[in-house]
Structure 1
Amino acid sequence: MSHSSTAPRPGLCSVTFRQLPAAEVARRAADAGLELVEWGADIHAPAQEPDTVRAVRDVSDRCGLTSCSYGSYFRAAPGELAGFPALTRAAVLLGAPRMRVWAGGVGSRAASPSERHAVVAGLREAAAIAADHGVELALEFHAKTLTDTVASTVRLLDEVGADNLRTYWQPPLDASDEAALAGLAELVDRVSAVHVFSWWPGNRRLPLAAREDLWARVFDMLDERQLRPDALLEFVPGDDPDVLAREAGTMRRAMARPPVPPPESSRPAQ
């Protein structure tokens, strides 16, 4: 199987350009050669505004884009479940097969057993509601939540035990390329999408080309395992829409790069 035939579908998280109307986000994504959009529930597609959600789906269709995911901010906290059916209905209205959710609001080391149990119970119930609507859930892989480490994420997925719950992945802040890739290798079979960006150090936003080697190796790993999660650009430098085409081009270039051979010292003797 060739490298390109299993390349992830390239897309954009609409939260990257919160300042732009949805029609402009869709036009720029299409012009940049992207195929997918994860529409955010915070600005572009609020669950409580079904007419707005329909309009977003229409503009996606007109631009030839697929609404791959609904970016919700549901955190499975007590009291949030009452609003979850409306979020699920919005995902269906958007035509999105997946909804992004969050694993609470406390890091895995700081969370008490009762706090973790509450998040597990909330995610389990949310997954059941989503399943009834044919929607998959995916956890944001993020600091200050129960998915702040690979080990905690795997444990959480196992604790919830829902067939329609998977996870996203992104390079943890300040992680080296090797550490990021080692974490992805442990999680990769349960990843439905990757958030693609180049931050270093901390959350300083760099052009994607600054970490193109990392992303080329990410896509190599996915290709080797014949996996095809969505690849969604997120948070470009300066929130500047004019750099989207450049960033999308870098992502496609990283996808197309041939596998990197191992260093001479690690190759087997001839």
Structure 2
Amino acid sequence: MSTFEPGLCTVTFRSLPPDRIVELAVEAGLAAIEWAGDAHVPPGDEPIARDVGRLSERAGLATSYGSYVAPPTDDLSVFRRALDSAIALGASNIRIWPGTRQRDSKDYSASERRAAAAAIRDMGAEAARHGVTVSLEYHPQSLTDNTDSARRLIDAIAHANVYLYWQPRPGLPLDEALAEIGQVGQHISHLHVFAWDSDRNRFPLKSASDYWRAVLAAMPASRWTGRRFAMLEFVANDDPAAFSEDAATLGQILQG
């Protein structure tokens, strides 16, 4: 059985209000929600964060905060606003983007990489003071857009409170996915789960069940010691019915 519990990223349903998202998550038997900073819990709006946190807590859902802080473009003062929202939300983890958004890792100079690592290290230290972990989005057009860059970045950050997410690039073949997690798996906190092809067409998660079973079976031991969540991110046609089917599939995958 997987050590990951099922969750949901609320970017999946940007147009839905938080109470409806919580309702869907509870109906699907999920364990956690990652609340989007660009939709449901804006950074700096602590009253909203507290309200959403209470909704989640009453439903028995753990929370993470999906921020769009992108160091070093965004500095420590920007991160603190997002961190304040994460704390008000009751989130144990905050996600940030490594590097300037929409920029390939190959386009960074050595000095720019050092600046990004230093900024993230400072953010990891600040979050640690409040008992919140920091996880880096693993995403195209970022400093984690390939395994070598991600590994070098996490080594340069060298902070015990900073971890990596993992998700496959759309259309990533299974053998390459397994090679990636073999190299960075010791740093992985949580997963973003979806079924896309290389053209970003979305499919039912059931079509990728064997893929995700293989990924989870190959996941190496991690230095992460908390609860771990495999969080659904995006579903076909943004349809709640498709989400319910994907959530049922995810539960079956995680049960082994």
Report the TM-score when normalising by structure 1.
0.88
- Give the C-alpha shift of residue 129 in structure 1: 1.1
The whole-number CA distance in structure 1 between the counterparts of 2:73 and 2:202 is 34
Structure 1 gaps, min length 5? 258-270
Residues 177 and 215 of structure 2 are in contact (CA less than 8 Å); yes or no, is this contact kept in structure 1? no
Residues 44 and 84 of structure 2 are in contact (CA less than 8 Å); yes or no, is this contact kept in structure 1? no
Aligned residue number for residue 15 of structure 2: 19
Q: Which has the larger radius of gyration?
A: 1
Aligned residue number for residue 164 of structure 2: 167
Alignment of 1:1-270 (within 5 A): 3=1, 6-67=2-63, 69-105=64-100, 106-222=103-219, 225=221, 229-257=228-256
Residues 78 and 118 of structure 1 are in contact (CA less than 8 Å); yes or no, is this contact kept in structure 2? no
Amino acid at match of 1:107: D
The whole-number CA distance in structure 2 between the counterparts of 1:84 and 1:219 is 31
Residues 114 and 156 of structure 2 are in contact (CA less than 8 Å); yes or no, is this contact kept in structure 1? no
Residues 191 and 229 of structure 1 are in contact (CA less than 8 Å); yes or no, is this contact kept in structure 2? no
Q: CA RMSD in A?
A: 1.6
- Give the C-alpha shift of residue 79 in structure 1: 4.8
How many residues align structurally?
251
The runs of at least 4 consecutive aligned structure 1 residues that moved more than 6 Å come to none
Structure 2 gaps, min length 5? none
SS of the residue corresponding to residue 134 of structure 2 reads: strand
The whole-number CA distance in structure 1 between the counterparts of 2:168 and 2:202 is 13
- Give the C-alpha shift of residue 174 in structure 1: 2.4
Identity of matched residues, %: 37
Residues 78 and 122 of structure 1 are in contact (CA less than 8 Å); yes or no, is this contact kept in structure 2? no
Change (3 A) 1:245 1:159: same
Amino acid at match of 1:13: C
Residues 232 and 247 of structure 2 are in contact (CA less than 8 Å); yes or no, is this contact kept in structure 1? yes
- Give the C-alpha shift of residue 160 in structure 1: 0.8
The whole-number CA distance in structure 2 between the counterparts of 1:245 and 1:30 is 11
Amino acid at match of 2:249: T
